[in-house]
């Protein structure tokens, strides 16, 4: 049975792409026939490793477009590429990337899938699949965020469309409970399968470096402005410590301005993206998660896997499910910048606590190893095979 994953851009550095590849690579290594349908390709080479047994289909290639100039020069194609998408929900944060041209490419490709399982990875794709996938092709929708954070129009579309999914996969216990209540009495089955981590490539941190690490898209959701603000208090007591923020995004200039406004240019560094997050984690002593909300908090698991203790806001919905407060990390009152700074200072000043948290964190994250999460996906696939 072929497994088709529909994703935004499998070549990027986003968390969804990374978690999809963890599962897809595992399934390919276990003899499953895997296809990743990437709507876009924005870069020449993938940010993360893709198993060579996986078929990757790109619908709208922004790297090779110059080689297809004959097509792009046509007035018709140009016109389509400038018209707004009608298939992607207008409240999808990535709506501006899509066009009527990508709509046609998505629709045409999905209509040619007449067997296997279709796994969709964002609300707009989940909604799209319920409307246009061929009957008889099971649809497994993934939800990476909590229902309550979505705009009202998107909530309504979710309520109308998700009951037509075969399965909805959630990441946390809270989300599983919330979605089961929302779709009680419908046929869609809600199942929790958390994100997974692949085997560690780097070494464990020795917790001696005076470095606090953070990583993610430079976007308001990730709250790096809150981290920078909190570090003003930290650096007043510990001027020899630094924060390294890995990632890229539209907030880069705003964050750089904030760093200079607070005079932190020697202590807070925007590092750009990294392919080797585990290597960078191994050179850090604390991980700081300052997000305003998270679907899961994959990077918390990655930090723990590298033996790095985590200080995190208790934001909705993922961190509290991963971190056992004051045992393998610190959960800080959501949005409380002063308390966040105090948490960082607490771990800076207590290396033994860092070591204790790291040791317990290593035990905690074994449940997220790909061999365990991969088996849950295999169980799900087998349910379709016996139908």
Please say if the pLDDT value at position 70 is more than 60: no
Please say if the pLDDT value at position 81 is more than 70: yes
Please say if the pLDDT value at position 126 is more than 70: yes
Rounded mean pLDDT of the chain? 94
Please say if the pLDDT value at position 101 is more than 70: yes
Query: What tens digit of pLDDT does each residue of 128-179 get?
Result: 999 999 999 999 999 988 898 999 999 999 999 999 999 999 999 999 999 9
| Furthest C-alpha separation in the chain | 66
Cis, bond preceding 317 (omega within 30 deg of 0): yes
Across the range 85-108, mean pLDDT stands at: 96
Residues 150 and 49: beta-carbon distance below 8 Å: no
pLDDT-based confidence at 73, cuts 50/70/90?
low
Residues 222 and 330: beta-carbon distance below 8 Å: no
Q: Residue ranges per domain, the chain?
A: 2-197+369-385, 211-368
Tokens at 178, concatenated: 């919330």
Query: 0.85 cut: is pTM over it?
Result: yes
Residue 153 class from Cβ within 10 Å (0-12 exposed, 13-18 middle, 19+ buried)? exposed
Report the 10 Å Cβ neighbour count for 367: 12
Total residues belonging to the chain: 387
How confident is the model at residue 335, as a pLDDT? 96
2-197+369-385 with 211-368: one CATH topology? yes
Q: Determine the Cα–Cα distance for residues 225 and 108; give it in Å rounded to an integer.
A: 42
Q: Determine the Cα–Cα distance for residues 37 and 34; give it in Å rounded to an integer.
A: 10
Residues 139 and 166: beta-carbon distance below 8 Å: yes
Handedness of CA 324, 326, 329, 333 (dihedral sign): positive
Rg for the chain, CA atoms, rounded: 22
In this structure, are strands 167-170 and 139-142 parallel, antiparallel, or unpaired? parallel
83-88 long-range contacts, Cβ below 8 Å, gap at least 24? Answer: 87/124, 87/128, 87/132, 88/124, 88/128
pLDDT-based confidence at 72, cuts 50/70/90?
low
**Superfamily of domain 211-368 in the CATH hierarchy:** Glycogen Phosphorylase B; (3.40.50.2000)
Residue whose entry in the numeric block shows the structure tokens 């998700």: 162
Query: What tens digit of pLDDT does each residue of 254-308 get?
Result: 999 999 999 999 999 999 999 889 999 999 999 999 999 998 999 999 999 999 9
Written as one string, the DSSP assignment of 269-331 is EEEE--S-HHHHHTT-SEEEE--S-BSS-HHHHHHHHTT--EEEE--SBSHHHH--BTTTEEE
2-197+369-385 topology per CATH: Rossmann fold (3.40.50)
């Amino acid at each position: 049975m072929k497994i088709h994953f529909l994703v935004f851009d499998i070549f990027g550095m986003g968390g969804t792409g990374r978690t999809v590849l963890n599962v897809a690579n595992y399934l390919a290594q276990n003899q499953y026939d895997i296809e990743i349908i990437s709507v876009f390709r924005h870069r020449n080479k993938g940010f993360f490793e893709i198993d060579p047994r996986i078929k990757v289909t790109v619908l709208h290639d922004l790297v090779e477009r110059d080689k297809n100039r004959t097509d792009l020069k046509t007035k018709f194609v140009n016109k389509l590429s400038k018209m707004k998408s009608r298939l992607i929900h207008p409240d999808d944060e990535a709506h501006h990337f899509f066009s009527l041209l990508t709509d046609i490419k998505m629709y045409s490709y999905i209509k040619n899938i007449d067997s296997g399982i279709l796994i969709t990875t964002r609300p707009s794709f989940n909604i799209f699949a319920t409307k246009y996938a061929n009957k008889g092709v099971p649809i497994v929708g993934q939800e990476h965020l909590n229902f309550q954070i979505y705009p009202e129009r998107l909530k309504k579309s979710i309520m109308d469309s998700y009951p037509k999914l075969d399965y909805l996969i959630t990441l946390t216990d809270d989300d599983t409970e919330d979605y089961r209540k929302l779709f009680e009495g419908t046929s869609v089955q809600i199942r929790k399968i958390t994100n997974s981590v692949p085997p560690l490539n780097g070494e464990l941190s020795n917790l001696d470096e005076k470095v606090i690490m953070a990583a993610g898209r430079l976007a308001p959701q990730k709250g790096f402005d809150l981290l920078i603000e909190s570090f003003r208090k930290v650096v007043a007591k510990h001027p020899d410590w630094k924060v390294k923020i890995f990632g890229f995004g539209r907030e880069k200039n705003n964050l750089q301005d904030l760093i200079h406004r607070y005079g932190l240019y020697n202590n807070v560094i925007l590092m750009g993206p990294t392919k080797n997050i585990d290597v960078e984690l191994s050179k850090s002593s604390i991980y700081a998660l300052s997000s305003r909300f998270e679907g899961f908090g994959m990077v918390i698991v990655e930090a723990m896997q590298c033996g790095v203790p985590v200080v995190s806001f208790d934001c909705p919905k993922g961190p509290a499910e991963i971190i056992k407060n004051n045992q393998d990390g610190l959960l800080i009152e959501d949005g409380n910048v002063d308390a966040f700074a105090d948490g960082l200072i607490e771990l800076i000043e207590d290396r033994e606590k860092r070591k204790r948290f790291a040791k317990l964190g290593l035990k905690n994250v074994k449940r997220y190893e790909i061999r365990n999460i991969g088996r849950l996906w295999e169980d799900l696939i087998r349910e379709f095979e016996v139908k």
